Structure 1
Amino acid sequence: MATRLRGRPAHAPGPTFLAYTPNGRKLITVGLNGALRVFQHGSDDEPAVIDVVTDNHTAIAATNDFFVVGAEDGSVTKYSLLTNSMEQILVRCSLPVRDIALSRDGEWAAVASDELEVKVVNTRDMTRVMYLREQARPVKHVSFDVSGTMIAASCTDGIVYLYSLSSEQPQLVKRVDGLIKTLETDAEASAKVAWHPDGRAFAAPTATRDMQVVARSDWQRQKAFSGGHGADISAAAWSPNGALLATAGIDKTLCLWETRSQRMLKSFDDVQDAILAINWHPTDNVLSYTNNNGELFIREDFVPGDHAKHLKIALQPAPMNSDPLAEVSGNARKQVSDGAKSNGHRRNEDDYLDDLLGPDAMSEDGAGFIEDDDGAGYAEDLNRFGKRSAGAVNGRPPKRQTPHSIWQPQMHEAFQPGSTPWKGGRRYLCLNLTGFVWTVTQETHHTVTVEFYDRQEHRDFHFTDPYKYDKACLNEKGTLFSCRPSSQTQQRSVLYYRPHETWTARTDWRTQLPAGEEVTSMSLSESCIVATTTAGYIRIYSLFGVPLKVYRQKSTPAVTCASWRDYVMTVGNGPVGGDGMTRLLYTIENVKRDEICQSEDILALPQGVELRSAFFSEKGDPCIYDTDGVLLILLHWRTPGQARWVPLLDTKTLDRLASGKKEESYWPVAVANDRFHCIILKGGEEYPYFPRPLLSDFEFRIPVSATSAEEEEDKEATHQRSLEEQYVRSSLQHSLVQDLVDNTNATSAQKGEVPLMEREVDKVLLQLLATECREGEERGMKALEIATLMRDRTGKMLEAAGKIAVRFQRDILGDKIMQFAERRMVGLVDEDEL
Structure 2
Amino acid sequence: MQSAIQPGCTQLSSCKRRFLAYNMLGSISSCESDGFSHVEVDFHDTSRGLRVPSMTDYFGFTMAAMNDKGSIFANPQKGEKNPSTLLYRPFNSWTNNSEWSMRFPVEEEVKAVAIGNGWAAAATSLRFLRVYSEAGLQTFVLSLSGPVVALAGHEHQLAVVIHASNPLASGDQMLEFLALDMRKKRQTQAGRLPLSPGATLTWLGFSEAGCLSTYDSEGVLRVYSSEFNGCWVPLFRASEERKGTDVNFWMVGLNSTQVFCVVCKAPSVEPQVLPKPVLGIFSTSVPVIHSDLGADDLENAYLRGILQLTQAHTKAVEAAVAGCDDEDEEESLLKMEVEVDRCLLRLIAAACKGDKLAKALELSTQLSLQKSLEGAIKVVNAMRLPSLAERLSLILEERITRERLEAGANRHKGDLVSSYMASPVTTHAPFPRGPKTQGQQSQPNYSPVADAHIQVPDRAAELASSPVDINSTAHPFKPALSKAHKRVTADAMEPDLKVPLEVGNTGDDPLTNLSKKSMAPSGVVNAYGKLKPSNPFAKPVIAPMRHDTEGSEKSDSILLSLKKIQHGAIDVQVQRKASSTPVK
Report TM bin, short chain.
0.5 to 0.7
Cα distance in 2, alignment partners of residues 752 and 520 from structure 1: 43
Q: 1:626 to 1:651 in 2, by over 3 A?
A: same
AA in 2 matched with 1:604: P
Q: State the 4+ residue runs in structure 1 displaced beyond 4 angstroms.
A: 828-831
SS where residue 337 of structure 2 aligns?
helix
Q: State how far apart, in whole Å, the 1-side matches of 2:404 and 2:267 are.
A: 56
The answer (yes or no) to whether the contact 1:780–1:813 under 8 Å persists in 2 is: yes
Per-residue CA distance 1:98-119 (angstroms, 9 max, x = gap): xxxxxxxxxxxxxxxxxxxxxx
- How far 1:612 sits from its partner (Å)? 1.1
Q: Choose from 725, 730, 746 the match for 2:300.
A: 725
CA apart distance, 1:673: 5.5
CA-CA distance at 1:515 after TM superposition: 2.8
Q: Which residue of 2 aligns with 1:758?
A: 337
The equivalent residue for 1:609 is 199
Task: Tell me the equivalent position of 1:483.
Answer: 75
Give the Cα separation in 1 of the matches to 2:290 and 2:343. Answer: 19
Distance 1:801 1:672, change over 3 A: same
Q: 1:485, 1:774 → 2: CA distance?
A: 67
Equivalences for residues 213-292 of structure 1 within 5 A: none
1:604-653 CA deviation, whole Å, 9 max, x = no partner?
A: 1132021110001111110001111111110018xxx8110001111211
Residue type of the partner of 1:497?
Answer: Y
Check the 8 A contact 1:622/1:634 in 2, yes or no. Answer: yes
Match of 2:315 in 1: 740
Q: Distance in 1 between matches of 2:31 and 2:234?
A: 37
Larger radius of gyration: 2
1:438 aligned to 2:32?
no
**Which letter does structure 2 place at the counterpart of 1:473?**
A
Contact 1:537 1:552 in 2 (8 A): yes
Equivalent residue number for residue 674 of structure 1: 257
Aligned position for 2:380: 805
Q: Residue 789 of structure 1 aligns with which residue?
A: 366
Distance 1:491 1:592 in 2: 34
Unaligned runs of 5+ in 2: 407-584
The residue aligned with 2:141 is: 550
- Which has more strand, going by share of residues? 1
- 1:596 aligned counterpart, secondary structure: strand
Q: Does 1:527 align with 2:115?
A: no
Q: Give the direction of change, closer, same or farther, for the CA distance of 1:468–1:737 in structure 2 (3 Å limit).
A: same
> Which amino acid in structure 1 is aligned with residue 230 of structure 2?
A
- Within 1, Cα distance between the matches of 2:306 and 2:159? 25
Give the residue type in structure 2 aligned to 1:757. Answer: M
Q: Does 1:697 align with 2:281?
A: yes
Cα separation, 2, equivalents of 1:830 and 1:471: 59
How big is each residue's C-alpha offset from its partner over 1:294-339, in whole Å with a ceiling of 9 and x where there is no partner?
A: xxxxxxxxxxxxxxxxxxxxxxxxxxxxxxxxxxxxxxxxxxxxxx
> Do the aligned residues in 2 keep the contact of 1:570 with 1:587 (CA within 8 Å)?
yes
Match of 1:645 in 2: 232
Aligned-pair CA distance for 1:582: 4.1
Corresponding residue for 1:596? Answer: 187
Q: How does 1:270-669 map to 2 (within 5 A)?
A: 411-424=1-14, 425-457=16-48, 458-487=50-79, 490-554=81-145, 556-576=146-166, 577-579=168-170, 581-599=172-190, 601-636=191-226, 642-654=229-241, 657-658=242-243, 660=244, 662-669=245-252
Q: Which whole-Å CA distance do the structure 1 matches of 2:226 and 2:94 have between them?
A: 40
**How much identity, in percent, do the aligned residues show?**
27
**TM-score, normalised on structure 2?**
0.65
For each residue in 1:521-542, what CA deviation from the matched residue of structure 2 results, as whole angstroms up to 9, or x when unmatched? 1111122111111010001111
**Shift of the alpha carbon at 1:510?**
1.1
Give the C-alpha shift of residue 505 in structure 1: 2.4
Letter of the structure 2 residue corresponding to residue 782 of structure 1: K
Measure the CA separation in 2 of the matches of 1:413 and 1:530.
19
Deviations 1:433-472 (CA, angstroms, capped at 9, x unpaired)? 2111111222521121211112332215322211111111
Q: Partner of 2:87: helix, strand, or coil?
A: strand
| Residues 694, 747 of structure 1: alpha-carbon distance in 2 compared, 3 angstrom cutoff | farther
Equivalent position SS for 2:285: coil
Against the structure 1 CA distance between its residues 755 and 494, is the aligned structure 2 distance closer, same or farther, given a 3 Å change threshold? same
8 Å Cα contact 2:52/2:91 also seen in 1: no
Q: Which amino acid aligns with 2:88?
A: Y
Q: How many residues align?
A: 398
Give the aligned partner of residue 687 of structure 1.
270
Secondary structure of 1:456 counterpart: helix
Give the superposition deviation at 1:825.
Answer: 2.3
Paired residue secondary structure (2:170): coil
Preserved contact between residue 129 and residue 143 of structure 2 (Cα < 8 Å): yes
Q: Deviations for 1:140-172, whole angstroms, at most 9, x for unmatched residues? A: xxxxxxxxxxxxxxxxxxxxxxxxxxxxxxxxx
CA offsets 1:563-607 (integer angstroms, 9 cap, x no match): 1122111000003445354410001111221211123x1001132
The 3 A distance-change label for structure 1 pair 750 and 572 is same
1:721 Cα offset (Å)? 1.0
Match of 2:459 in 1: none
How far apart, in 1, do the equivalents of 2:329 and 2:302 lie?
21
Deviation at 1:495, TM superposition (A): 1.1
Change (3 A) 1:603 1:500: same
Q: Distance in 1 between matches of 2:352 and 2:153?
A: 47
Name stretches of at least 5 consecutive residues in structure 1 with no aligned partner.
1-410
Distance 2:56 2:215 in 1: 33
C-alpha distance in 2 between matches for 1:829 and 1:627: 53
Alpha-carbon distance in structure 2 between the residues aligned to 1:509 and 1:681: 36
Is the contact made by 2:171 and 2:198 (CA closer than 8 Å) also made in structure 1?
Answer: no
What residue in structure 1 maps to residue 396 of structure 2? 821
Q: Is the 8 A contact 1:540 1:547 kept in 2?
A: yes
Q: 1:747 to 1:482 in 2, by over 3 A?
A: farther
Q: Does the C-alpha gap of structure 1 residues 431 and 621 become closer, same or farther in structure 2, counting only changes over 3 Å?
A: same
SS state of the match for residue 726, structure 1? helix
TM-score, with structure 1 as normaliser: 0.46
Q: Structure 2 counterpart of 1:645, which letter?
A: W
Aligned-partner residue type, residue 691 of structure 1 = P
- Quote the RMSD (CA, aligned, Å): 2.2
Query: Offset of 1:799 from its aligned partner?
Result: 0.8
Contact 1:823 1:829 in 2 (8 A): no
Confirm or deny: 8 A CA contact 1:734 1:758 kept in the other structure.
yes
Question: Is the Cα–Cα contact under 8 Å of residues 8 and 252 in structure 2 kept in the other structure?
Answer: yes
Distance 2:248 2:51 in 1: 32
SS at match of 2:303: helix
Quote the Cα distance in structure 1 between the aligned partners of 2:232 and 2:131. Answer: 26
Residue 814 and residue 706 in structure 1: after superposition, are their counterparts in 2 closer, same or farther (change >3 A)? closer
Measure, in 1, the Cα distance between the counterparts of 2:390 and 2:123: 62
Give the letter aligned to residue 92 of structure 2: E
| Alpha-carbon distance, 1:747 to partner | 4.7
